[in-house]
Amino acid sequence: MLQADVETWALARAHQIVLNEGLSLAKAAQDLDRKKSRSLVYELRKVITAAILEAHAGSFDPGNIQSEN
């Protein structure tokens, strides 16, 4: 896989994660909702971990990394 392809995928994936999970976490923090913030941090960790595993798998099989857009 070309470096540019990996960079493009990583930027798109990071953007998707921030839009989907990051904004919800920021809102919960702004509302001082500790329980929801903790829950959303856990979800954010899961999504980031999944993205790292997806990228790692794609480094061995270039056709494996797919955009979710």
Question: What is the number of residues in the chain?
Answer: 69
How far is Cα 18 from Cα 10, in angstroms, rounded to an integer? Answer: 12
pLDDT tens readout for residues 1-55? 566 777 788 888 888 888 888 889 999 999 999 999 999 999 999 998 888 888 8
Q: CA-to-CA distance for 65 and 59, rounded, in angstroms?
A: 8
* Residue 21, SS3 per DSSP: helix
Bigger pLDDT: 7 vs 64: 7
Give the C-alpha separation, 12 to 9, whole Å: 5
- Per-residue pLDDT for 66 more than 90? no
Q: Is the pLDDT of residue 69 over 60?
A: no
